[in-house]
Amino acid sequence: RKEVEQDPGPFNVPEGATVAFNCTYSNSASQSFFWYRQDCRKEPKLLMSVYSSGNEDGRFTAQLNRASQYISLLIRDSKLSDSATYLCVVNLFNDMRFGAGTRLTVKP
Amino acid sequence: GAVVSQHPSWVICKSGTSVKIECRSLDFQATTMFWYRQFPKQSLMLMATSNEGSKATYEQGVEKDKFLINHASLTLSTLTVTSAHPEDSSFYICSARVSGAAAYEQYFGPGTRLTVT
């Protein structure tokens, strides 16, 4: 089983749609969790951290369920500029482990 | 702040030659730097963890004699791909962790695209 698993997509959605990405991780000792965004041929950039209580940053909401070892990212009111690959990242003892990413394309 | 640069951004080389990639933290010190490789449509794969002044720790399956890592200062790590072959063609990304900071205070360089012909 992979350490961090994501649905690779692609997700093709119209502007204004709400889209959700899921991620599962295998090691229950994982300590912290993040969503990164990676544009084509660019480096990943931190989008947001994920907390058990859930956290929101504008149109983005992240949730963590430790019992199920599951992380989610919800994007509301999608914009064209949201098109990218979204990487789920899990920190285990200061080792950041990346999922393969979920590709999102937002269309006009 | 927290800018990491990589040089070169793109390199094409012939099979059998060696290529050196530099990773620099421009405005912070980084005791630890990481080297990743990413093939098209695949995830970032950690190759090695580099600590300033000591030998790098390589992930399983990564040949340390082929991918030479040097982290001689708190702002510079280099990755040398020795005797490169076409299968080494990939996107190489470094990241640098702010000295003394948590794991997530890790910033990525813009990546180096290596094409071996």
Radius of gyration from C-alpha coordinates of chain B: 13
| Contacts with A95 from chain B: Cβ below 8 Å | 46, 49, 103
CA dist., res. A55 & res. B84, Å (int): 45
Chain B nearest C-alpha distance from A53 (Å): 19
Distance between CA atoms of residues B32 and B38, nearest Å = 20
Give the model confidence (pLDDT) of A54-105 as tens digits: 899 999 999 999 999 999 999 999 999 999 999 999 998 878 888 989 999 9
Alpha-carbon gap: B110 to the closest alpha carbon of chain A (Å): 5
Distance CA A66, CA A49 (A): 14
Query: Does residue B24 have a pLDDT over 90?
Result: yes
Interface check for A39 against chain B (CB to CB < 8 A): the answer is no
Q: How far apart are CA B46 and CA B90, in angstroms?
A: 13
Q: Determine the distance from the C-alpha atom of residue B104 to the mean position of all C-alpha atoms in its chain, rounded to a whole number.
A: 18
Which residue of chain B is at minimal alpha-carbon distance from A89? B104
Q: pLDDT tens across B27-67, in order?
A: 999 989 999 999 887 888 899 999 888 889 999 999 999 99
> Which residues in A lie closer than 8 A to residue B96 (C-beta atoms)?
none
Q: What mean pLDDT is predicted for residues A9-28? A: 95
